[in-house]
Structure 1
Amino acid sequence: MEKIDLEELRYPIGHFEVPENFDDTTIQNWISELEAFPRKLESLVKNLSDEQLDTVYRPGGWTVRQVVHHVSDSHHNSYMRFKWALTENRPIIKAYNEKAWADLLDTRTGPIEMSLDHLKAIHTKLVYFLRKLSQGDLERIFIHPESNAETSLKENIGRYVWHGNHHYAHIKNLLDRNNW
């Protein structure tokens, strides 16, 4: 029997690393990835059965259904963080308990279509918005209350590209392991 590396299952594409340089091409490429992501995710999960959707992607992890709903919730929260950073001076953002949200009834049992539709809508708004930002806008920051870490908007674009790809890889790897 093949030994499973839990760290690799948790972080199949590695941890997010802040690039040293944020040139315009990198940022525009990230925005294009955000634009394509909702349909990419939908293509991956749209034909899964309820049994498959209710399968955990790793021991102790969330089900595919929970991951889809989590991505929608998380990217919605990210959209709000962009708005706060542009309308307030160095705002301390509102954190949320991802694990508790993932355990709510709608996340555990709800149809994934509602989160796929929401993800399409929020990414459409986000991409439209991001393409209009100036260099000065991209330098604006917000502060995370738990770590006191400052995050620039340009960094947050990259972080959410990574976040989507991170969870996409969770699901894709499960599908590949199970030959689905």
Structure 2
Amino acid sequence: MYQPTTDEYAPYYKEYINNVINRDIIKTLKNQLNEIDDFLAEIPENKYDYAYAEGKWTVKQLVGHLIDTERVMAYRAMRIARNDKTPLPGFDENLYADSLDLSKRSYTDLVDEFLLMRQANLYFYKSLSEEDYYKKGTASDYTISVGALLFIIAGHVQHHFNVLKERYLNK
């Protein structure tokens, strides 16, 4: 079963990759659909606009960040899987979060968008072959593989759920 090696991702992604316990990455990404739905549904309405400290994201901004990151990482995986060797730029997650106008977006709509995006991306992820996982490209000036991107996507969600539990919900 595929497991990314350290030459397939930038060092700062190691924590995300280590968050993935089940090495069947497609199963993990699919199982996260229920986890995303269940966990985000448990967050009380009075926490949607809550940030645990000055300058930190609100819960709604954090969900927006999860959506943006899923979108960017899936796009990177698609480009690399299709043998596109064009170096891909980084993205500034704080700039993205600051640019989100969430005043007209309900929390439920954000969660639904995240779930729908993951469902759509799963069709792409499931279409990948074992060989596709090893394809490498460049993103943010680092070598990265398609398989590592899938682990990063899953581990990133787990990381932020841990942050939500510890700093927003005090669980």
Q: What TM-score range do you get, normalising by the shorter chain? A: 0.7 to 0.9
Whole-angstrom CA distance in 2 between matches of 1:47 and 1:16: 23
Contact 1:38 1:119 in 2 (8 A): no
Contact 2:51 2:168 in 1 (8 A): no
Contact 1:102 1:108 in 2 (8 A): no
Shift in CA distance, 33/18, structure 1 to aligned 2, threshold 3 Å: closer
Contact 1:70 1:102 in 2 (8 A): yes
Q: What SS does structure 2 have at the residue aligned with 1:54?
A: coil
**Match for residue 96 of structure 2 among 97, 101, 109:** 101
Letter in 1 for 2:15: H
1:75 aligns with 2:76: no
Whole-angstrom CA distance in 2 between matches of 1:103 and 1:109: 15
Query: Which of 1 and 2 has higher RCO (CA within 8 Å, sep 6+)?
Result: 2
1:171 aligns with 2:164: yes
What number of residue pairs does the alignment pair up?
A: 156
1:58 is displaced (CA, Å) by: 4.7
Q: What SS does structure 2 have at the residue aligned with 1:39?
A: helix
> What is the match of residue 121 of structure 2?
126
Q: Which region of structure 1 is more displaced relative to structure 2, 31-40 or 78-87?
A: 31-40
Question: What TM-score, normalized to structure 1?
Answer: 0.73
Per-residue CA deviation, residues 12-32 of structure 1 (Å, 9 max, x unaligned), is: xx823579xxxxx72x2x222
1:138 aligns with 2:133: yes
1:16 aligns with 2:16: yes
Whole-angstrom CA distance in 2 between matches of 1:117 and 1:71: 12
> What is the match of residue 66 of structure 1?
61
Q: What SS does structure 1 have at the residue aligned with 2:155?
A: helix
Greater radius of gyration (CA)? 1
Q: What SS does structure 2 have at the residue aligned with 1:69?
A: helix
> What is the match of residue 5 of structure 2?
none
Whole-angstrom CA distance in 1 between matches of 2:166 and 2:54: 13
RMSD of Structure 2 on Structure 1 (CA): 2.6
Letter in 2 for 1:97: D
Shift in CA distance, 166/125, structure 1 to aligned 2, threshold 3 Å: same
Q: Kindly, what percent of the aligned residue pairs are identical? A: 19
